[in-house]
Chains A and B, each alone.
Chain A
Amino acid sequence: MFGRALRSSTSLALRSNALRTQTARPTANAFLARYLSQEHRSMIETAVKEKPLVIFMKGTPDVPQCGFSRAVVQILGLHDVPADKLRTFNVLEDQELRSAIKEYSDWPTIPQVYVDGEFVGGCDIVMGMHQSGELESLLQKHDIIPKSASS
């Protein structure tokens, strides 16, 4: 079931010692605010590929903290995405993750949906793709949901 896999979602372990030391220095901090550090970048690159479908959202699928995140979860829920294909990250638990993911995708808002490591879009785009049928084809193409038996 969709919801069960998501319940285990935790924040990304972005709080390595290296990063702590960096953010302790004000100059480095100012720099980090603008540019994605190599550590952040490689952690995000790992995170977006952790499962075929990855969502960065506010809250959890069971308790979304934002209407846009809720909408994305509901839309994907309609497609019966199997639990083992999906991973969500709650950006509210991790401010570093929240700003890093925005830098990484060059996209200023949350939620963000990734398929096989590739940024698909936020709420409006996923909603539009759902309505046009593109979302289903995309999920099928990446073997996230089974291809329709008949065409």
Chain B
Amino acid sequence: MSRNVSSESAQAGPVETSIRQKLNDLFKPTALEISNDSSQHRHHTAMRAQGGGNGETHFSVMIVSEAFEQKRSMQRHRMIYSALADEFNDGLHALSINAKTPAEIVPQGNADMQ
């Protein structure tokens, strides 16, 4: 499995680039996918107030990292939110997070692991 498996796209904006860089640096993910969902939210009240937003307001992140071992879902969210505090202060509005450990994405043969 290669590091930084990511959906790097040519038109990634500065916010997306910065999110990717910080998550890569902090969590050394074995997989990281970031998708920009901003265009689906342009007409929302909050975004209308900002003239439709800057096109980088809503993202989904799928991240797999050993840093999430022994961490509950809320702790994983908090880790990511705090890593991206600057982005949230600068207009990042919503982040949908799917954070897993490598062990959790391996197909499980037995179900006794909760």
Residues of A at the B interface (CB closer than 8 Å) are 58, 65-68, 92, 106-109, 119-125, 128-129
Q: Which partner residue on chain A sits nearest B37 by CB separation?
A: A67
A66–B77 CA distance with the chains assembled, in angstroms: 20
A-B contact list, 25 entries, CB within 8 Å: A58-B45, A65-B45, A66-B44, A66-B46, A67-B41, A68-B94, A68-B96, A92-B45, A92-B46, A106-B78, A107-B81, A108-B88, A108-B92, A109-B93, A109-B94, A109-B95, A119-B74, A121-B73, A124-B73, A124-B77, A124-B96, A124-B97, A125-B77, A128-B73, A129-B73
Please, how many angstroms separate the alpha-carbon atoms of A44 and B48 in the complex?
28
Q: Mark B1-43, 1 if CB is under 8 A from A, else 0.
A: 0000000000000000000000000000000000000000100
Please tell me the number of chain B residues within 8 Å of chain A, measured between CB atoms. Answer: 18
Q: What separation, in Å, do the CA atoms of A68 and B93 have in the docked complex?
A: 12
Kindly list chain A residues whose C-beta atoms are within 8 Å of the C-beta of B88: 108
> Which chain B residues lie closer than 8 Å to A129 at the CB level?
73
Is B81 in contact with A124, judged by CB distance below 8 angstroms? no
The answer to the question of B54 belonging to the interface, with a C-beta cut-off of 8 Å to chain A, is: no
> Which residues in B have some Cβ–Cβ distance to A below 8 Å?
41, 44-46, 73-74, 77-78, 81, 85, 88, 92-98
CA distance A67 to B94 in the complex (A): 11
Question: Which chain B residue lies CB-closest to A129?
Answer: B73
The residue from A108, A123, A125 contacting B74, defined by CB atoms under 8 A apart: A125
Count, A-B residue pairs, CB within 8 A: 41
7 A-B pairs closest in CB distance: A108-B88, A65-B45, A125-B73, A121-B74, A124-B97, A108-B81, A128-B73
Complex contact B77–A122 (CB within 8 A): yes
Chain B residues, CB < 8 A from A128: 73
B-chain residues with CB within 8 Å of residue A120 when the two chains form the complex: 74
- Report B98 CB to chain A, min CB distance, Å: 7
When C-beta atoms are compared, the residue in chain B nearest to A65 turns out to be B45
Bound complex: CA A121 to CA B93 (Å): 16
Q: How far is the CB of A57 from the nearest CB of chain B, in Å?
A: 12
- A68–B41 Cα distance when bound, in Å, is 11
Which residues of A sit under 8 angstroms from B95, Cβ to Cβ?
109
Shortest CB-to-CB span from B48 to chain A, Å, is: 11
Taking a contact as CB atoms under 8 Å apart, the answer to whether B73 and A65 are in contact is no
Residues of B within 8 A of A106 (CB): 78
B18 to chain A, nearest CB (A): 15
Whole-angstrom distance from the CB of B22 to the nearest CB of chain A? 14
Distance of A125 from chain B, by nearest CB (Å): 5
